[in-house]
């Protein structure tokens, strides 16, 4: 859409695979997939960033792998094969996090493991990777991971700022001196329901800007 590269690898169609999930085809706000983890890991910005990155990596790589194997996977056992690929990747991501970012890994706790069950990943494998070439599948994976991640980051930004008064752990509100002016953190922002309400607000915002997303009655 906005990118102007003339490379055949990034043809207009391929670019669309990348940018579509960021807006009009967003996995969270339009397809309403992967909501559970969006509620669970968005209390603070840092875990949300790591989660977004992990999911993007898993969905992109598993898309490529499944796409490369797509003509060799028997139709009947394709779900099992997909699960093996995803589980392998998730375990690798989990071990990497434990090795290099132990704190965040502890905060994310089981939710890294639960990436396996994230509907977005299986959804993309079934809907896209099984019937497209590896390069397109890769772009589709990155796009969907990023589309998921961007919502996570927006939600986590507001939840951390309003709920804990900080951004990436930096106490913004305190430095601005708002506490002495009578401001207080909003305890409800830390509770899961508020993530749902924030996602709802994002959907509202998106639909009011793009009328084509509104279902016909």
Partner 1 sequence: MKSLRKKIDRLKPHFSEGGRFEKLRSVFEGFESFLFVPDTVTSRGAHIRDSIDLKRTMTVVIIALVPAMLFGMWNTGFQHFRSTGVEASFLQMFLFGFIKLLPLIIVTYVTGLGIEFIAAQIRGHEINEGFLVTGLLIPLIVPIDIPLWMLALATAFAVILGKEVFGGTGMNVFNPALLARAFLFFSYPGWMSGDRVWIEGLTEGKNVVDGFSGATPLGLLMQNQTDALPSLKEMFIGTIPGSVGETSTLAILIGAAILIITGIGSWKIMTGVFAGGIVMGLLFNLIGANQYMELPFYYHLVMGGFAFGAVFMATDPVTASQTETGKWIYGFLIGLLSIFIRVINPAYPEGVMLAILLMNAFAPLIDYYVVQANIKRRLKRARVSLNTGAK
Residues at the contact surface with partner 1, assessed by CB under 8 A: 182, 184, 186-189, 191, 197, 204
Smallest distance from partner 1 to CB 180, Å: 14
Nearer to partner 1, 83 or 178 (CB): 178
Nearer to partner 1, 48 or 189 (CB): 189
Smallest distance from partner 1 to CB 158, Å: 14
Smallest distance from partner 1 to CB 102, Å: 32
Q: Residue 213: is it exposed, middle or buried by C-beta count within 10 angstroms (0-12/13-18/19+)?
A: middle
Smallest distance from partner 1 to CB 199, Å: 13
Q: How far is 151 from 155, CA to CA, in rounded Å?
A: 6
What is the sign of the dihedral through the CA atoms of 111, 112, 116 and 122? positive
Q: Residue 153: is it exposed, middle or buried by C-beta count within 10 angstroms (0-12/13-18/19+)?
A: middle
Nearer to partner 1, 69 or 191 (CB): 191
What are the structure tokens assigned to 210, written together? 């793009």
Q: What is the DSSP letter of 134?
A: H
Nearer to partner 1, 138 or 158 (CB): 158
Smallest distance from partner 1 to CB 178, Å: 11
Q: How far is 14 from 5, CA to CA, in rounded Å?
A: 11
Nearer to partner 1, 16 or 207 (CB): 207
Q: How far is 37 from 152, CA to CA, in rounded Å?
A: 9
Q: Decide: 24 and 177 in contact? Cβ < 8 Å.
A: no
């Amino acid at each position: 859409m906005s990118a102007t590269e003339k490379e055949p690898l990034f043809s207009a169609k391929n670019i669309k695979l990348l940018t579509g999930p960021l807006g009009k085809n967003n996995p969270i706000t339009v397809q309403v997939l992967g909501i559970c983890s969006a509620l669970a890991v968005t209390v603070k910005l840092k875990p949300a960033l790591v989660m977004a990155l992990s999911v993007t990596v898993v969905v992109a790589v598993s898309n490529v792998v499944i796409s490369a194997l797509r003509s060799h996977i028997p139709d009947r056992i394709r779900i099992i094969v997909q699960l093996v690929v995803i589980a392998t990747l998730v375990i690798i991501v989990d071990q990497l996090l434990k090795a290099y970012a132990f704190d965040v890994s502890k905060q994310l706790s089981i939710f890294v493991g639960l990436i396996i069950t994230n509907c977005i990943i299986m959804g993309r494998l079934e809907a896209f990777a099984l019937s497209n070439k590896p390069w397109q599948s890769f772009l589709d994976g990155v796009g969907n991971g990023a589309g998921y991640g961007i919502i996570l980051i927006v939600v986590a930004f507001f939840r951390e700022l309003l709920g804990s008064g900080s951004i990436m752990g930096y106490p913004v509100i305190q430095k601005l001196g708002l506490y002495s002016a009578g401001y207080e953190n909003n305890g409800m922002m830390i509770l899961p329901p508020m993530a749902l309400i924030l996602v709802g607000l994002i959907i509202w915002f998106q639909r009011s800007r793009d009328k084509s997303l509104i279902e016909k009655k």
